[in-house]
């Protein structure tokens, strides 16, 4: 199955810990997007990356959140010093490369902060 | 005004009937439009993309786009209980790069 892969699927952290979410795009896709879905809310764009480049991070909170997509390996969304308000489903999507192309979503990581 | 608006529902539809979902968007330069289906606790699953004014059909689904009215809709024919889900309208404004702006979703409930 060459779909978008995310791990872990569920992640529990205590307040103040770090959360690392990983995303491997579909085979042949070079563009990765991260979205967050807070409980009972809609999907919100966070960041758009290509290999070794952040293209658009206009949806990222100013502090504690960072993302990367290295030359080798998966894209990482990192949340430092997590707070309860970070509890949400984090979805990664990928697209082949051209603008306007369809984005395909991974299964998501459900983050719970205790 | 929200960038992408949908009626939250629930839209209750008898099995076999047509479900009609609507979406309006505020950014006139938007170029591409998508409908995703999301089951509870699952990730969004692409149903349809549409880029040009008019209708686009795929199986039991028809998307309709009217850029002049800034309106996109989704029809589900012969609705089945398995169609019960939240349907998300997403817009990709060309001027804003390649990020999707989602509506809040319309919950559809198909009753046997």
Give the chain B residue whose CA is nearest to the CA of A4.
B43
Q: Does A30 touch chain B (CB under 8 A)?
A: no
CB contact under 8 A, A100 and B42: no
Q: Does B102 touch chain A (CB under 8 A)?
A: yes
Q: Strands A109-113, A10-13: parallel, antiparallel or unpaired by DSSP?
A: parallel
Per-residue model confidence as pLDDT tens digits over A56-74: 999 999 999 999 999 999 9
Residue A85, CA distances (Å) to A1, B4, B44, B70, B71 in order: 34, 24, 22, 34, 34
Q: Strands B30-38, B71-76: parallel, antiparallel or unpaired by DSSP?
A: unpaired
Q: Name the DSSP letter for residue B19.
A: E
Summary count for chain B: helices (H), strands (E): 0, 11
Q: Which of residues 45-64 of A touch B (CB under 8 A)?
A: 45, 48, 55-56, 58-59
Per-residue model confidence as pLDDT tens digits over A27-66: 988 899 999 999 878 899 999 999 999 999 999 999 999 9
A99 within 8 A of A31, measured Cβ to Cβ:
no
CB contact under 8 A, B100 and A31: no
Q: Does B26 touch chain A (CB under 8 A)?
A: no
A91 within 8 A of A108, measured Cβ to Cβ:
yes
CA angle B32, B11, B65 (to 5 degrees): 20
Q: Does B100 touch chain A (CB under 8 A)?
A: yes
CA angle A104, A110, A113 (to 5 degrees): 150
Query: Quick one: tokens of A54?
Result: 């952040």
Per mean pLDDT, which of A10-19, A21-30, A97-106 is the most reliable?
A10-19
CB-count exposure of residue B82 (10 Å: 0-12, 13-18, 19+): exposed
Give the chain A residue whose CA is nearest to the CA of B2.
A42
Q: Which residues touch B23 (CB under 8 Å, ≥6 apart)?
A: B4, B5, B6, B33, B71, B72, B73, B74, B89, B103
Q: Does A44 touch chain B (CB under 8 A)?
A: yes
Give the pLDDT confidence score for residue B54 in this predicted structure: 95
Give the pLDDT confidence score for residue A100 in this predicted structure: 58
């Amino acid at each position: 199955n060459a779909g978008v892969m995310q791990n872990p699927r569920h992640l529990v952290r205590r307040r103040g810990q770090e959360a690392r979410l990983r995303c491997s795009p579909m085979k042949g896709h070079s563009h990765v997007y991260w979205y967050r879905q807070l409980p009972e809310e809609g999907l919100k764009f966070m960041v758009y990356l290509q290999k070794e480049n952040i293209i658009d991070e206009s949806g990222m909170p100013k502090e504690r959140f960072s993302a990367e997509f290295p030359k080798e390996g998966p894209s990482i969304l990192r949340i430092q010093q997590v707070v309860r308000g970070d509890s949400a489903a984090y979805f990664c999507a990928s697209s082949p490369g051209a603008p306007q192309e369809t984005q395909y979503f991974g299964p998501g990581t459900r983050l719970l902060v205790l | 005004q929200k960038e992408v608006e949908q009626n939250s529902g629930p839209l209750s539809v008898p099995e076999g009937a047509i479900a009609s979902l609507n979406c309006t968007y505020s950014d006139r330069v938007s170029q591409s439009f998508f409908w995703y289906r999301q089951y509870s606790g699952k990730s969004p699953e692409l149903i349809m993309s549409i880029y040009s004014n008019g209708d686009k059909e795929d199986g039991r689904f028809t998307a309709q786009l009217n850029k002049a009215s800034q309106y996109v809709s989704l029809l589900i024919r012969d609705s089945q209980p398995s169609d019960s889900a939240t349907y998300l309208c997403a817009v990709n404004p060309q001027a804003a790069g390649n990020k999707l702006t989602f509506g809040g979703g319309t919950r559809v409930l198909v009753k046997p």
